[in-house]
């Protein structure tokens, strides 16, 4: 499994550096190598993540059919393995795919479902990530009041993190 993680690491690193066509071809190639290894090992939980990764990469280059195919493969593994918490990332990526296809109402529906899973599993940071995607979605549809509402939600979350960090730093200083 280490080999597949290595290929995924290469894909993620390249993707974070550039998204030009030649780089994206390499990114997809590395992720496909990781998938091949994970499929041979029948590592269902790893495949969920890898399928979601490659789906995002295909969406980036507007290969929407391939993106949808891999995303739905991840969903089948989520359902098969009972890894219900992975639904939050599935619906987030599904929303992102719809957003890139300019299908904004479908994107919002998927993002809303992702939020419900994030809340169910107490993943406040992932919920915040989804809210940021929803803000973009609302801006595209001209729903600026809704975008502002979610912007305020993300700001409140960010402020709570800063407060926690500052409290931890103050406690650390006080303990020295």
C-beta of residue 30 within 8 angstroms of C-beta of residue 8: yes
- Is 90 exceeded by the pLDDT of residue 78? yes
Model pTM score = 0.87
Mean pLDDT rounded to a whole number for the chain: 92
Which residues have C-beta within 8 Å of that of residue 56, sequence separation ≥ 6? 67, 93, 96, 97
Over residues 20-32, the pLDDT tens digits come to 999 999 999 999 9
Is 141 strand, coil or helix? coil
For residue 40, give Cα distances in angstroms to 30, 33, 47, 77, 159: 16, 11, 11, 15, 45
């Amino acid at each position: 499994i280490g080999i597949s993680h290595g290929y995924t690491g290469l894909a993620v690193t390249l993707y974070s550096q550039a998204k030009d066509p030649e780089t994206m071809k390499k990114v997809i190639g590395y992720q496909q190598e990781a998938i091949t290894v994970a499929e041979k090992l029948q590592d269902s939980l790893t495949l969920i993540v890898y399928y979601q990764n490659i789906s995002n990469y295909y969406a980036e280059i507007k290969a929407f059919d391939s993106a949808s195919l891999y995303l739905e493969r991840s969903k089948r593994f989520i359902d098969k393995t009972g890894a219900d918490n992975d639904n939050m990332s599935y619906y987030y990526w599904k929303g992102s795919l719809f957003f890139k296809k300019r299908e904004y109402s479908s994107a919002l529906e998927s993002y809303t479902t992702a939020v419900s899973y994030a809340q169910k599993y107490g993943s406040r940071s992932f919920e915040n990530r989804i809210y940021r995607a929803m803000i973009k979605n609302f801006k595209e549809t001209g729903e600026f009041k809704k975008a502002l509402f979610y912007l305020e939600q993300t700001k409140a979350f960010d402020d709570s993190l800063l407060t926690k960090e500052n409290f931890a730093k103050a406690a650390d200083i006080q303990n020295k």
